[in-house]
């Protein structure tokens, strides 16, 4: 049922399902089917409750879909799931604490544009040719994984010597307060000391990998301001260059989810059939306490790593800018996760590919109490991105979309023509690990074909139009646009 900006899905469980999407936002039928299948988890929870009476009843209470929602692995990307008495690791997504980070620099687009060729070479070197020097000692790595960036700061010696100076706000008060599940901070999953993302216990490990696919580090500029007061307060004046980072926990998040799946299978009651939709819950009872603990340790480590990784990716960008454009400073606007869960007593809000969009009432004390929570919505490497301010709308459980969202499944976009790709590449600057400007590389037809195929999956035609997506958020009362950002250069893992 579509009313003006919303679609509601009636269902036999009578669970409120709200899809924030105006008429001009394309919806993938396969993703809608997936939503209906997620609802079967209501039945799963009821069956689980029957196996241990007296533990309170785990329930699925609400589902929200953001305008960028599209088919995912079992649960669509762009889904918010609210439960009582149950934790659903699969409703968080594999890449734990994947998120967006936005910084505003002191440089203008006029200063940066003429230097883009040199900047491209510099950033390729920094990101992909061993030019990056940020290394964590084992002590620093452990502090980051246990306690996040605040923990890392406490170790003293900053691993970012020679990079742009940072102020503590970069690590603390301008990040979404992650509100980790109770007791997570301080734990250290035992497998991490010997495995994880690069480097064993005794070696310095390099941090700041982008990760493949949709992840990126991008230079943009403020092209248009929609809300002059909020934009001014956040330092977003027209013509200023900003940097946006999208990255997650690399292999650590996958490890955390593997840990969850082991625990979920182990604690599933013998004799009870497994749910057909493949979604296995942890009821918040004693039976699963030990398995949940193992998961939450790994989860907390991965989440802390991801936020640190975004910080270091931004520093690498700053270093490139400073080297090519001269003295500059950068300041964090916001860092927000879109694959995480938030627990308040028995109630858990899971966001998988959805970003928090709190209103100013929810932002007590921080620098956003006046305007609401910044909502970062990237479009694609060939389209505009937006920053909005959240309204804390209860209908979306104070959530918004975290991007434009895929328009078509990955494979389908590969069929775009080479001419379209060339036109795109002439207009937009993309830095990838493969240096296609190197004549030796350009001669290798097979290598170039693979590179072109990958780029086609990420080009603007692979994503929904950002305009209608942002209008739906606005018209639906979820968040209001503050500034439109346009890309100058995109670094893709």
Query: Which residues contribute to the site for Mn ion (CB under 5 A)?
Result: 95, 98, 248
| 356 or 379: CB nearest ligand 5GP | 379
Nearest CA among 60, 3, 6, 4 for reference residue 36: 60
Q: For residue 18, give the H/E element and its range.
A: strand 17-20
Which parts of 114-133 interact with ligand 5GP (CB under 6 A)? Answer: none
Partners of 335 in the β-ladder:
101, 175
Mask: binding to ligand 5GP, 52-91, rule CB under 6 A, as x and -?
----------------x--------x--------------
Part in contact with ligand 5GP (CB under 6 A); list of ranges 28-36, 52-60, 137-145, 485-493: 485-493
378 binds ligand 5GP (CB under 6 A): yes
Residue 484 sits in the site that holds ligand 5GP (CB under 6 A):
no
Question: Interface with ligand 5GP includes 463 (CB under 6 A)?
Answer: yes
What would the two tokens of residue 20 be?
């924030």
Question: Does residue 216 touch ligand 5GP according to CB under 6 A?
Answer: yes
Nearer to Mn ion, 143 or 250 (CB): 250
Give the residue among 464, 465, 353, 374 at the shortest CA–CA distance from 64: 353
Residues near 252 by beta carbon (within 8 Å), at least 6 away in sequence = 96, 192, 196, 197, 298, 301, 302, 305, 306
Binding mask 396-425 for ligand 5GP (x = CB under 6 A): ------xxxx--------------------
The answer to whether residue 380 forms part of the interface with ligand 5GP (CB under 6 A) is: yes
d(CA 152, CA 137): 11
With H, G, I as helix, E, B as strand and everything else as coil, classify residue 392.
Answer: coil
Contact of residue 300 among ligand 5GP, Mn ion, none (CB under 5-8 Å per partner type): none
| x/- letters, 20..59, toward ligand 5GP (CB under 6 A) | ----------------------------------------
In whole angstroms, the minimum distance from the beta carbon of 215 to Mn ion comes to 6
Q: Measured between alpha carbons, how far is 423 from 430 in angstroms, rounded to an integer?
A: 13
Give the nearer residue to Mn ion in terms of CB position, either 210 or 398.
210
- Residue 490 binding result from Mn ion, ligand 5GP, none, given CB thresholds of 5 to 8 Å by partner type: ligand 5GP
Q: Are 73 and 353 in contact (CB under 8 A)?
A: no
CB of 446 to Mn ion, least distance (A): 28
How far is CA 251 from each of CA 41, 149, 422, 433, rounded to the nearest angstrom?
28, 19, 33, 19
Question: 48 or 479, CB closer to ligand 5GP?
Answer: 479
Nearest CA to 256 among 227, 295, 198?
295
The answer to whether residue 460 forms part of the interface with ligand 5GP (CB under 6 A) is: no
What is the C-alpha to C-alpha distance for residues 465 and 432, in angstroms, rounded to an integer? 24
| CA–CA gap between residue 425 and residue 436 (Å, rounded) | 11
Q: What are phi and psi of 164, to 5 degrees?
A: -65, 135
The C-alpha R_g of the chain, in whole angstroms, comes to 22
**Smallest gap from residue 34 Cβ to ligand 5GP (A):** 15
Q: Per CB under 6 A, which region of 6-14, 55-63, 224-232, 373-381 contacts ligand 5GP?
A: 373-381
Decide whether 85 or 403 has the Cβ nearer to ligand 5GP.
Answer: 403
Residue 337 or 476: the one with the smaller Cβ distance to Mn ion is 337
Find the shortest distance in angstroms from Cβ 436 to ligand 5GP.
Answer: 17
Work out how close the CB of 336 gets to ligand 5GP at its nearest, in angstroms, rounded to a whole number.
Answer: 11
E strands present in 190-327: 205-206, 216-225, 240-247, 282-283
181 binds, among ligand 5GP, Mn ion, none (CB under 5 to 8 A by kind): none
Binding to ligand 5GP (CB under 6 A) within 418-457 occurs at none
* Residue closest to 311 by CA, chosen among 121, 140, 81: 140
Structural contact between residues 486 and 223, judged by C-beta atoms closer than 8 angstroms: yes
How far is CA 416 from each of CA 306, 379, 380, 412, 429, rounded to the nearest angstrom?
33, 19, 16, 8, 19
Q: Which is nearer to ligand 5GP, 216 or 368 (CB)?
A: 216
Binding residues for ligand 5GP, per CB under 6 A? 68, 77, 98, 214, 216, 218, 246, 353, 378-381, 385, 402-405, 458, 463, 487, 490, 492
């Amino acid at each position: 049922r579509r009313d003006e900006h919303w679609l509601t899905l009636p269902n036999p469980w009578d669970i409120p399902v709200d899809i924030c999407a105006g008429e001009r936002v394309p919806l993938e039928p396969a993703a809608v089917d997936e939503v209906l299948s997620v609802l079967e988890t209501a039945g799963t929870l009821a069956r689980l409750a029957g196996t241990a009476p007296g533990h309170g009843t785990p329930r699925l209470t609400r589902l929200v879909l953001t305008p960028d929602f599209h088919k995912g692995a079992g649960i669509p990307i762009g889904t918010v799931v609210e439960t009582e008495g149950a934790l659903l690791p699969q409703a968080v997504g594999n890449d734990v604490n994947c998120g967006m980070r936005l910084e505003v620099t002191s440089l203008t687009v006029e200063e940066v544009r003429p230097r883009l060729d040199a900047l491209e070479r510099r950033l390729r070197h920094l990101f992909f040719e061993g030019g990056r020097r940020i290394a964590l000692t084992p002590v620093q790595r452990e502090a980051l994984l246990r306690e996040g960036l605040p923990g890392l700061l406490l170790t003293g010696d900053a691993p970012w010597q020679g990079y742009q100076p940072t102020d503590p706000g970069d690590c603390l008060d301008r990040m979404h307060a992650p509100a980790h599940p109770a007791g997570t901070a301080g734990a250290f999953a035992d497998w991490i000391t010997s495995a994880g993302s690069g480097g064993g216990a005794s070696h310095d490990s390099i941090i700041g990998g982008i990760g493949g696919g949709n992840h990126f580090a991008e230079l943009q500029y403020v092209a248009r301001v929609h809300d002059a007061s909020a934009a001014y307060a956040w330092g977003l004046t027209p013509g200023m260059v900003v940097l946006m980072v999208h990255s997650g926990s690399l292999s650590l998040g996958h490890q955390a989810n593997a840990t969850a799946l082991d625990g979920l299978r182990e604690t599933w009651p013998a004799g009870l059939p497994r749910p057909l939709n493949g979604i296995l819950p942890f009821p918040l009872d004693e039976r699963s306490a030990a398995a949940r603990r193992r998961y939450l340790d790994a989860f907390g480590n991965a989440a802390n790593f991801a936020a640190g990784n975004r910080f270091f990716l931004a520093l690498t960008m700053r270093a490139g800018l400073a080297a090519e454009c001269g003295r500059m400073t950068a300041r964090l606007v916001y860092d927000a996760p879109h694959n995480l869960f938030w627990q308040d007593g028995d109630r858990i809000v899971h966001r998988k590919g959805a970003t928090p969009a709190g209103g100013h009432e929810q932002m007590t004390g921080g620098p956003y109490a006046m305007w609401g929570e910044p909502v970062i919505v990237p479009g694609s490497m060939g389209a505009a991105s937006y920053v909005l301010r959240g309204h804390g709308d209860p209908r979306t459980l104070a959530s918004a979309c975290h991007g434009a969202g895929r328009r078509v499944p990955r494979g389908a976009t590969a069929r775009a023509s080479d001419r379209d790709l060339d036109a795109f590449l002439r207009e937009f600057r993309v830095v990838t690990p493969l240096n296609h400007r190197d004549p030796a590389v350009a001669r290798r037809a097979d290598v170039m074909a693979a590179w072109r195929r990958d780029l086609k999956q990420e080009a603007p035609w692979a994503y929904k139009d950002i305009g209608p997506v942002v209008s739906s958020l606005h018209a639906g009362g979820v968040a209001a646009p503050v500034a439109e950002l346009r890309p100058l250069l995109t670094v893709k893992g």
